[in-house]
């Protein structure tokens, strides 16, 4: 809910278009290394006791410098150092010795209304990463007053302000009466008095409360979804509320460890056998999985790593579709005719829906003669094993951190191998590396996508991932609620919400 209480320099709107926010405008230097933000003069922090008179003061460029440096300060334990560390001039040095280095040279508050960021080298998605919570602004006064409790007493600039947060019980926010933004007709925002989030442990109880009108919004469990929808995944006519299905920037895939020096790759028959990985790709009927296992809660992953809804996603990008005969031929070329002598083990973390998916994959691979064993693992253990290179073949997913395709292609960059980065497969291809680095320098989006499409071709050929499906975000909403929306990152936006 931070998006409703806190804001940054820029934001993505409902159509996933980048727009100025607290920065009324910005300029990017021709070399792509200097960003100059011109701040609005009418943005104030929420009224709060952290200020001498309890009245929120105006936001200035110094506030952004303070917040961004705090993100890079290991003493603050914000977990956001990765956002700026290797990108902003002086961030690496500051993070290494915050007691000795005075500030970050690449964050410059030129005056109250001008904030400048200098990068070490061009990074085309930089504006996109500023839309994350690590790019939000808050006052130093609140941090100094609330100290360790600051996370539960957030003071921002957004349309709603925190009222209370009872952990595991209720989060309540009220309208920010001094909010700066207006609707398209010049009317004041927000339109509603506030909102509350109830933390109900039982999905069945939560749905019952929603059905009885005590909740305005609810994410249905798999069981509830199956109860209220027909065989096409559409809401049954007897229910008088709205079922909304939309793209969710999350790709579900099967990861393979390609590095034979790692524990997961040392005895992995897929590690150095590209044709085997390709055979597995062709053997999976993604359409059937989405229809019968996911109950239409996913989209077949046949168009590359970018999920539906991510800028740059295109149905013209053709990955792997079901082709049993092609799978059988490649399996033979890989040295395992009819699967003889081959046993694979797929590891997934303990979740009923994942078990059903893996059982379906097991059955589909059996049709080409492949013996697939499946193993359940606790979620935390599963994540650690991925990052430590202990798994050879595993169910995985990648959810976007921000609206830019680079966030996915970074997973195929060799310098991002785990545990340093998100490349859990330890995939290495010099051509992909050079294309990825070129993409970071291109400020023209269409030219950058041409580069990423070349990466797609190489990734399809090498098959470090076996992409299964793209997730959908599904929720229930009362018909009286209008104007709210959930973005592709799964964040609920209530700035324009109205209730009839």
The per-residue pLDDT for range 111-164, each reduced to its tens digit, is: 999 999 999 999 999 999 999 999 999 999 999 999 989 988 999 999 999 998
Distance separating alpha carbons of residues 115 and 87, to the nearest angstrom:
17
Outline which parts of the chain fall under CATH 3.10.105.10. Answer: 248-473
pLDDT at residue 1 greater than cutoff 60 = no
pLDDT at residue 479 greater than cutoff 60 = yes
At residue 456, φ and ψ (nearest 5 deg) are: -55, -50
Write the pLDDT tens digit of every residue in 418-427: 998 899 999 9
Structure pTM?
0.92
| DSSP strands (E only) in 191-288 | 194-198, 217-218, 242-256
Per-residue model confidence (pLDDT) at position 257: 98
User: What rounded mean pLDDT belongs to the chain?
Assistant: 95
The CATH number assigned to the domain with range 248-473 reads 3.10.105.10
69-78, 141-150, 198-207, 269-278: range with lowest mean pLDDT: 198-207
Identify the top-confidence range among 197-201, 217-221, 224-228, 410-414: 410-414
| DSSP strands (E only) in 176-256 | 194-198, 217-218, 242-256
CB of 211 closer than 8 Å to CB of 235? no
Give SS3 for 213: coil
Outline which parts of the chain fall under CATH 3.90.76.10. Answer: 2-150
| DSSP strands (E only) in 257-308 | 298-300
Report the percentage of the chain scoring pLDDT > 70.
100
Write the pLDDT tens digit of every residue in 2-21: 679 999 999 999 988 999 99
Per-residue model confidence (pLDDT) at position 2: 66
The CATH number assigned to the domain with range 2-150 reads 3.90.76.10
Distance separating alpha carbons of residues 449 and 141, to the nearest angstrom:
43
């Amino acid at each position: 809910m931070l998006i409703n209480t806190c804001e940054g320099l820029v934001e993505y709107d409902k159509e996933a278009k980048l727009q100025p926010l607290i920065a009324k405008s910005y300029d990017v230097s021709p070399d792509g290394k200097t960003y100059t933000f011109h701040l609005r003069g009418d943005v104030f922090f929420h009224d709060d006791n952290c200020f001498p008179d309890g009245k929120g003061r105006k936001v200035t460029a110094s506030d952004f410098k303070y917040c961004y440096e705090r993100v890079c300060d290991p003493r603050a334990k914000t977990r956001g150092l990765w956002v700026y560390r290797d990108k902003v001039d002086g961030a690496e040095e500051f993070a290494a010795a915050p007691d000795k280095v005075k500030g970050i040279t690449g964050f410059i508050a030129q005056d109250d209304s001008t904030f400048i960021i200098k990068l070490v080298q061009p990074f085309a998605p930089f504006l996109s990463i500023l839309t994350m919570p690590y790019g939000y602004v808050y006052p130093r006064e609140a941090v100094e007053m609330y100290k360790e409790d600051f996370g539960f007493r957030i003071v921002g600039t957004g349309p709603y302000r925190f009222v209370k947060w009872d952990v595991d019980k209720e989060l309540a926010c009220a309208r920010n009466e001094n909010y700066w933004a207006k609707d398209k007709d010049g009317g004041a925002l927000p339109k509603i008095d506030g909102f509350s989030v109830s933390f109900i442990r039982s999905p069945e109880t939560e749905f019952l409360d929603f059905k009885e009108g005590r909740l305005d919004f609810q994410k249905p469990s798999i069981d509830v979804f199956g109860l209220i929808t027909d065989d096409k995944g559409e809401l049954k006519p007897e229910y008088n509320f709205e079922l909304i299905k939309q793209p969710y920037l999350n790709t579900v895939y099967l990861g393979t460890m390609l590095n034979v020096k790692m524990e997961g790759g040392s005895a992995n028959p897929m590690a150095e056998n590209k044709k085997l990985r390709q055979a597995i790709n062709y053997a999976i009927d993604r359409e059937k999985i989405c229809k019968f296992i996911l109950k239409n809660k996913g989209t077949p992953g046949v168009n590359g790593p970018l999920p539906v809804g991510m800028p740059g996603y295109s149905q013209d990008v053709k990955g792997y579709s079901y082709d049993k005969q092609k799978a059988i031929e490649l399996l033979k070329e890989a040295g395992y005719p009819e699967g003889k002598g081959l046993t694979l083990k797929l590891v997934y973390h303990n979740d009923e829906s994942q078990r059903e998916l893996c059982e379906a994959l097991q059955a589909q691979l059996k049709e080409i003669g492949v013996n697939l064993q499946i193993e359940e693992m606790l979620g935390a253990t599963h994540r650690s094993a991925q990052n430590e290179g202990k798994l050879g073949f595993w169910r995985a997913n990648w959810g976007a951190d921000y609206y830019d395709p680079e966030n996915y292609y970074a997973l195929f960059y060799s310098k991002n191998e785990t545990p340093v980065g998100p490349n859990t497969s330890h995939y290495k291809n010099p051509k992909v590396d050079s294309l990825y680095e070129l993409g970071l320098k291109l400020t023209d989006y269409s030219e950058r996508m041409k580069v990423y499409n070349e990466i797609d071709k190489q990734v399809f050929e090498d098959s470090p991932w076996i992409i299964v499906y793209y997730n959908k975000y599904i929720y229930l909403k009362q018909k009286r609620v209008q104007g709210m929306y959930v973005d592709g990152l799964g964040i609920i936006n209530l700035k324009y919400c109205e209730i009839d």
